[in-house]
Amino acid sequence: MYRSKGLLTLVFSSRSKRGWSCNHKEKHMSRKKKWSVVIFLVLLVVITTSFMMQISTGGLPTFPHIDKVVHFVFFFALAWAFYHAFPIPIVWALLILTAYGFLVEYVQGTLPHRSASYGDLLADAAGAGSFYLYTWWRVMRHRKRQAKLSS
């Protein structure tokens, strides 16, 4: 399933016959895209750092497999930022995010205070996949409403 605009379409969409167009909406969109990329990169650094550190709960109540919940939530948020920063086909986005999850697990396996887990990788993929499934559901719901209003 593809998003409506590919990366090349987005990059070249503001070009007019007389050169680069400079209307306010396009400036706003490029500013929005820049902030989306910045937010994605900040999330990427924070998530990578937190997965590599040994974090003490400090007496906070925990439950079994809380790390899977953390992986799911982090990758849901990372998929949200990735979606807004890089308009690429969903399949490629899921492959990239899952590959990043695999890389995180590989590096965790090499650290003395961490361990790799297929369950964590599955939670990573499920978090990213859940975001894109939710987004697809919202798009389909919007299309149905638009079709109902136009008929």
15 membership: H or E segment, kind and range: strand 15-16
> Which amino acid is it at 102?
F
Total structural domains within the chain: 1
> Is residue 64 in some structural domain?
yes
2 located within any domain: no
**Is position 111 within any domain?**
yes
Tell me, yes or no, whether 3 lies in a domain.
no
What does the pLDDT look like over 57-94, one tens digit per residue?
A: 566 567 777 889 989 999 999 999 999 998 889 999 99
* pLDDT in the model for residue 60: 59
pLDDT at residue 58 in the model? 64
Give the domain extent around 133: 8-150
Q: Is residue 42 part of a domain?
A: yes
24 part of a folded domain: yes
| 1 found inside a domain | no
Backbone angles phi, psi at 115, to 5 degrees: -140, 150
Question: pLDDT class for 111, splitting at 50, 70, 90?
Answer: confident
Q: What is the pTM of this model?
A: 0.71
- Quick check: is 39 in a domain? yes
The torsion defined by the Cα of 123, 126, 130 and 131, in degrees rounded to 10, comes to 70
